[in-house]
Amino acid sequence: MNSIAGRHWLSALVLLCLVALGLGQAWAQDAGASEAASSDQGPALLSALAESSFRDKEAAIDAIAESGDERARRWLESFAEGKLARVKDSGAIVVVLENRGRNWPVADALTLEPAGEISRRELDRVSINNSLRGYLDSTLALIDLRVDDPAQRLAAARDLLGEVEAEAVDSLSELAAAESDPEVAATLEQAIAIARVEQGDVAAVEALSGSLNGQARAALMQASRSDDVALAEAAQAALAESEQALKLNRAAETLYFGLSLGSVLVLAAIGLAITFGVMGVINMAHGELIMLGAYTTWAMQQLLPGQPGLALLLAIPAGFLVAALVGVAIERGVIQFLKGRPLETLLATFGVSLILQQLVRTLISPLNRTVVTPEWMSGSLVINEALSLTLNRLYVLGFAILVFAALMLVMRRTRLGLEVRAVTQNRAMARSMGIRATRVDILTFALGSGVAGLAGVALSQLTNVGPNLGQNYIIDSFMVVVFGGVGNLWGTLVAGLSLGVINQVLEPWAGAVLAKILVLVFIILFIQKRPRGLFPQKGRAAEG
């Protein structure tokens, strides 16, 4: 009996302990929640912002920015956009999500969670003016300058260029001194210098001397018109250095675009140089072989949708093979019967070019096709604020150099290259030494045609693909071959790059059409002095 009673007492004691523990935890949670609620400065900060006059709102904005609250940026952004409002009845601050109709959807400014809809008549907007908006831009940038991500800090620093308010200079100076990233620090110092120059500080002009930034040059331009003689002279000197630096960067950009255009001409002409040098054939269908390489790239992207990078890589060997096979068909079907008759060859290959163009129009479409550029070829390589290099042209330039190097290896290190050079110098002597000139002609024409296909693959990344694509490059290709020296690869490289740069230099002031005319006149005059081009061929080519 006593044992049973003892068990009842023990059970009651355990139950009492559990109840006490539960009440203690509930009390602790309530106390913690109460303490957290009491420590939340959000209501006070937002109330100060809503109740302050325009003159005092800047202090309220500073208090929010310096609070370290993770919601501070959202509050200030909403205030800048005119979306903060106070509920008339409760005094609660809300964020207006959409201001149309009678009832506006809102979010609680403290929790940032949707709070239903409220009639617009029950809301009082937190007023803002243009002066405060400018101050908010600087304040938001200061918040971003305190984050851990260097890229985000750099973006914020760049946004401040030309936008720094006089009141924010001291704060920015402290941040610039404490900044660990050199690029961010330099950008902040430039933003501070612009603000000080705008305030008439002569000493700050030196920091902007030679700057390529548009905001910095605008500040110097404004200062150069100042009534302060010392400030105006210093700004004019700094502006002259900036203009000189800008001219150098523009010249570098022109050179880059010229080399890019020249690399395309090299790719288009180098195959023509091989076949022209070995066989003496004026192949007017060479442009259509370029076109076929471009269409091969487009076709590979249709076979591999959503994978433009892989399709482009596979299009390189595919474009070479397609153009090479068509080249062999042209050589076996037309050219072999017209050897030694250049005029008939020119007319026949011109007819072949028309047939290929019409074939593409019939089988595919007369409309241009767009080839998607892979992500790794998109965008630009930014050198500085005045010079950026487009990646697709940079890749094409590198591709042209690789193709040229591969051709040089073939011509210098393989049996085919040895036989090609032998036939080029003296066909009769090469035959007497056992070289099968007909086989060399076929392989040479296939090689030259395949390289034309590679040119088409490269061009597909620079322009639209259409039936007339090759016609835009055939004349330029012949000019490159003649200017560089028939059959000479080095001559083709130098001539292609040179003509590309010359054309790019002339275009800005002469126009595209007149620039081409001037280049053509230059080549005609040059050929009068050096009929065999920059690097004349030896042997049979020289005798011809």
Cα angle 68, 69, 71 (rounded to 5 degrees) comes to 140
pLDDT tens digit sequence for 7-62: 544 555 444 444 444 444 444 444 343 433 345 677 888 887 777 777 777 788 87
Share of the chain above pLDDT 90, in %: 15
pLDDT tens digit sequence for 122-154: 888 888 887 777 777 777 777 778 777 888 888
Q: Which whole number is the average pLDDT over 110-115? A: 82
What is the pLDDT at residue 9?
A: 44
| Whole-number Å distance between alpha carbons of 274 and 289 | 15
Q: Are residues 313 and 445 in the same domain?
A: yes
Q: Which whole number is the average pLDDT over 291-314? A: 92
| Whole-number Å distance between alpha carbons of 95 and 75 | 8
Is 48 inside a domain boundary?
yes
> Three-state DSSP class for 273?
helix
Number of structural domains the chain divides into: 2
Is 181 inside a domain boundary?
no
| Whole-number Å distance between alpha carbons of 209 and 237 | 8
Q: Are residues 262 and 124 in the same domain?
A: no
Is 464 inside a domain boundary?
yes
What's the CATH number where 360 sits?
1.10.3470
What is the pLDDT at residue 30?
A: 45
Q: Which residue segment(s) compose the domain that 298 sits in? A: 249-378+388-537
Q: Which whole number is the average pLDDT over 296-315? A: 92
User: What angle do helix axes 229-279 and 437-459 make, rounded to 10 degrees?
Assistant: 150
pLDDT tens digit sequence for 53-95: 777 777 888 788 777 777 888 888 888 888 888 888 888 888 8
What is the pLDDT at residue 110?
A: 82
What is the pLDDT at residue 39?
A: 55
Is 163 inside a domain boundary?
no
What is the pLDDT at residue 311?
A: 92
Single residue among 81, 111, 130 that ends a domain in this structure? 130
Which amino acid, residue 313? L
| Whole-number Å distance between alpha carbons of 282 and 339 | 11
Is 82 inside a domain boundary?
yes
Single residue among 130, 153, 170 that ends a domain in this structure? 130
Does the model's pTM come out above 0.75? no
Which tokens belong to 225? Answer: 């018109």
What is the pLDDT at residue 24?
A: 46
Q: Which whole number is the average pLDDT over 223-250? A: 88
Is 420 inside a domain boundary?
yes
What is the length of the chain? 544
| Whole-number Å distance between alpha carbons of 478 and 542 | 18
What is the pLDDT at residue 321?
A: 95
What is the pLDDT at residue 361?
A: 92
Is 192 inside a domain boundary?
no
Is 200 inside a domain boundary?
no
Residue 273's CB is within 10 A of a number of other CB atoms, namely: 30
Question: Closest Cα partner for 169 from 181, 182, 160?
Answer: 160
Single residue among 130, 162, 186 that ends a domain in this structure? 130
Q: Are residues 406 and 264 in the same domain?
A: yes
Q: Are residues 259 and 119 in the same domain?
A: no
What's the CATH number where 116 sits?
2.30.30
- Mean pLDDT, the chain, whole residue set: 81
What is the pLDDT at residue 537?
A: 61
